[in-house]
A and B are shown apart, each in its own frame.
Chain A
Amino acid sequence: MTMQDTKQQQYQDTQWQADERGKWGRFGGRYVPETLMPALDELTEAYANLGRDSEFKAELDRLCAEYVGRPTPLYHAARLSEYAGGAQIYLKREDLAHTGAHKINNALGQGLLAKRMGKTRIIAETGAGQHGVASATVCAMLGLPCIVYMGEEDVERQKLNVFRMRLLGAEVRPVGSGTRTLKDAINEAIRDWVTNVADTFYLIGSVVGPHPYPTMVRDFQSVIGREARAQMLERVGRLPDAIVACVGGGSNAMGIFHPFVRDYDVRLVGVEAGGEGVVTGRHAATLVAGSFGILHGASMYLLQDDDGQVTGTHSVSAGLDYPGVGPEHSYLKETGRAQYTSVTDTEALEAFELLCRTEGIIPALETAHAVAEAVKQARTMVPEQTVLVSLSGRGDKDLGTIVGREEAQGSL
């Protein structure tokens, strides 16, 4: 019996889809104030109608091609593979999408939906600023006003993206409450939505939040995995042996994993931010070290203390610095379909430099976590095998952080 057959048997009753309440097993659902519940019903219905809407699909496909630059290339990283000395590493180049990250796939889909629903005001949250930039970009293109909530700490460490958002016509509202990072930006965006729910569309940037967001964001991001699957079959003649992607909320990972979820021979590996090391407590490795909880409208794995208070996180990359994680990832972990691991700040910074030097590609610090893990995975494999990496974003936005660290260490 092959591994595929064993897994087929193990998962024969698993649907891999959320139920009508937006739950994968015990994860997901809707834990939000009553004020928002009708708006979530409205959104669920509008999103379901898109499935029958060939006009919407044609418009999304056209903009994906003409505006975003899809399909993004699949690149065989020969020198990185040689460095690792094992499996062949392939990079799915989301860094080459318009605005420099995968975030645009989802922002475009939700932006078009908002327009279709007649919403006249868009709000978004952002951590690293990539989703904020993608939202601001799409809103400029669609002629919609855009307000982006961003933690004060992130405003500081992602100055360039703040400038980009303002240049694109968005209003950036720094959030000073709580830990002053992504989780607090989401709280503030939800408060705005509660207040302005009639005319406002909340453009969530990851596979988190109340139903239908985790499903909807995953679907818009699944273009990554659909393209990569076809590209691997065409170029290599078979599916990859492993897929590696970084996980904060988890949208790029869900996007590349989803079209492979029934291909049980393909190992799915999510990489969380290990920060200064999971044992130090200063990290953002939710699936590795968290426990069941409820945050931002869904049940999921959560970093929390014994009293159910959400704990502060740490990562060198603002985009992974989040104490929750998508409910579908929580389910993939619980069912064993995907494995989740963590990479420290130091390992990510080394991988950042490694990809620059071996392939001439400057990755985002978030993405560098996936690169670090991909090298580790490839080392344990043979040259006939392949590892597919979601190269989720480019690193121009992180140069300030890199320069700051190198100056602090006196190496510049």
Chain B
Amino acid sequence: MSGITRAFERARTEGRAAVIPYVMAGYPDLEGAVEVTLALERGGADILEVGMPFSDPLADGPTIQRAATASLAAGTTVASCLGTAGRIREQSSIPLVLMGYYNPVHRYGVEWFCRDAASAGVEGLILPDLPPEEAAEVREVAHGQGIDLIFLLAPTSTEARIEQAARVAGGFVYCVSLTGVTGARASVATGLDEFVGRVRRHTNLPLAVGFGISRPEHARQVARVADGVVVASALIDLIDRTEKSERLNKVEGYIRSLRDGARKEPGAPVSAGGVELEPADDRLG
């Protein structure tokens, strides 16, 4: 059982959705990213996404664009992102997922990248601009190194596309909560329940919901239907507006509040570890 699967399993037995924060490698700086990570773990994060900056992040809103620009300006490279993952792994056992755009990974060399990521202790990879149609090679190479290629599905995804992604997905399925780019929103998109339900019918993998999530009440809404909640832009916004001396405490407290928010209400459908768990009704007689 992979660390990712175990993390979802543990959250499920604790009656909550897994909390999956995102940090941008090299942001607020090389060392700061690692410190933030450890604070996130102290606050109860279950899985960590480490973002790799790209010059043209077309799925991202202003917050992550800004962080990527700053990170690149400070000299962050693919190699230093892998180094950051390795540093985190030395100090923590939290499951690590790398998230970035395809071109830098391709340029580094898919084989080399997956090998170096695996030795840094990475267990999952998310490439938002690499849909299942284009992903066969990367998936195979990643899989060979014990890394799950995690696919995104969106509210616009058709049944056929959900089925296609479910066939090849590993680790968990990343459900994009809204039709749009990343960035904190005031409320959770309407139609989330229906969308997550559609995905659930095609896979036993855990479902994590991201894009637009920022508050404990959002986490609560997500936890009713999904198995994990991803928070990215809101966390970067928090880092940006907090004094350096206060930063780690605030980050830790914020994640704790999200984790508290992510408690499941009884009777909600959950799944983990490849087992579909229905609400306790008598449907099967």
| CB of B188, distance to nearest CB on chain A (Å) | 16
Q: Do B104 and A37 have beta carbons less than 8 Å apart?
A: no
Point out the residues of chain A lying under 8 angstroms from B237, CB to CB: none
Q: Is B275 an interface residue, CB under 8 A from the partner?
A: no
Cα-based distance from A386 to B108 in the complex (angstroms):
45
Q: Which of B55, B134, B176 contacts A35 (CB 8 A)?
A: B176
The 8 A CB mask of B46-78 against A (1 = contact, 0 = none) is: 000000001111110100010001001000011
Q: Is A197 an interface residue, CB under 8 A from the partner?
A: yes
Point out the residues of chain B lying under 8 angstroms from A107, CB to CB: none
Beta-carbon nearest neighbor of B104 in chain A: A308
Beta-carbon nearest neighbor of A23 in chain B: B134
Q: Do B156 and A38 have beta carbons less than 8 Å apart?
A: yes
Q: A177-B65, A178-B55 in contact; A295/B157 too (CB < 8 A)?
A: no
Q: A21-B133, A308-B107 in contact; A33/B78 too (CB < 8 A)?
A: no
| CB of A23, distance to nearest CB on chain B (Å) | 10
Cα-based distance from A76 to B216 in the complex (angstroms):
71
Q: Is B105 an interface residue, CB under 8 A from the partner?
A: yes
Q: Which of A31, A32, A38, A191 contacts B181 (CB 8 A)?
A: A191
Q: Which of A32, A183, A306 contacts B56 (CB 8 A)?
A: A183
The 8 A CB mask of A165-183 against B (1 = contact, 0 = none) is: 0000000000001100001
Cα-based distance from A344 to B128 in the complex (angstroms):
37
Q: How large is the interface on B (under 10, 10 to 19, 20 to 34, 35 or more residues)?
A: 35 or more
Q: Which of B61, B102, B156, B158 contacts A191 (CB 8 A)?
A: B61
Point out the residues of chain B lying under 8 angstroms from A295, CB to CB: 56, 103
Q: Is B154 an interface residue, CB under 8 A from the partner?
A: yes
Q: Is B85 an interface residue, CB under 8 A from the partner?
A: no
Number of A-B contacts (CB under 8 A): 116
Q: A33-B59, A195-B179 in contact; A308/B78 too (CB < 8 A)?
A: yes
Q: Which of A32, A39, A178, A307 contacts B107 (CB 8 A)?
A: A307
Point out the residues of chain B lying under 8 angstroms from A36, CB to CB: 156
Cα-based distance from A294 to B180 in the complex (angstroms):
21
Q: Which of B56, B104, B165, B180 contacts A187 (CB 8 A)?
A: B56
Chain A, range 47-69, C-beta contacts under 8 Å to B: none
Q: Is B153 an interface residue, CB under 8 A from the partner?
A: yes
Q: Which of A190, A194, A310 contacts B55 (CB 8 A)?
A: A310
| CB of B243, distance to nearest CB on chain A (Å) | 27
Point out the residues of chain A lying under 8 angstroms from B59, CB to CB: 33, 191, 194
Beta-carbon nearest neighbor of A211 in chain B: B133
| CB of A363, distance to nearest CB on chain B (Å) | 31
Q: How many residues of A contact B (CB 8 A)?
A: 38
Q: Is A304 an interface residue, CB under 8 A from the partner?
A: yes
The 8 A CB mask of B145-171 against A (1 = contact, 0 = none) is: 000000111111110010001000000
Cα-based distance from A142 to B158 in the complex (angstroms):
31
Q: Do A194 and B131 have beta carbons less than 8 Å apart?
A: no
- Most chain B CB inside 10 Å of its own CB: which residue of A38, A187, A306, A309: A309
Chain B, range 168-192, C-beta contacts under 8 Å to A: 176, 179-181
Q: Is B201 an interface residue, CB under 8 A from the partner?
A: no
| CB of B171, distance to nearest CB on chain A (Å) | 16
Q: Is A296 an interface residue, CB under 8 A from the partner?
A: yes
Cα-based distance from A308 to B105 in the complex (angstroms):
8
Beta-carbon nearest neighbor of A189 in chain B: B58
Q: Which of A37, A184, A198, A306 contacts B161 (CB 8 A)?
A: A37
Q: Do B157 and A310 have beta carbons less than 8 Å apart?
A: no
Q: Which of B103, B131, B157 contacts A32 (CB 8 A)?
A: B131
Point out the residues of chain B lying under 8 angstroms from A29, CB to CB: 133-134
Q: Is B87 an interface residue, CB under 8 A from the partner?
A: no
Q: Which of B54, B158, B176 contacts A309 (CB 8 A)?
A: B54
Point out the residues of chain A lying under 8 angstroms from B155, CB to CB: 35
Q: Do A31 and B129 have beta carbons less than 8 Å apart?
A: yes
Point out the residues of chain A lying under 8 angstroms from B133, CB to CB: 21, 29-30, 37
Beta-carbon nearest neighbor of A36 in chain B: B156
Q: A34-B152, A294-B103 in contact; A308/B108 too (CB < 8 A)?
A: yes
Q: Is A259 an interface residue, CB under 8 A from the partner?
A: no
| Subset of 13 A-B contacts with CB under 8 Å | A31-B130, A33-B59, A33-B176, A34-B156, A34-B157, A35-B176, A36-B156, A39-B156, A178-B69, A194-B181, A304-B103, A306-B107, A308-B104
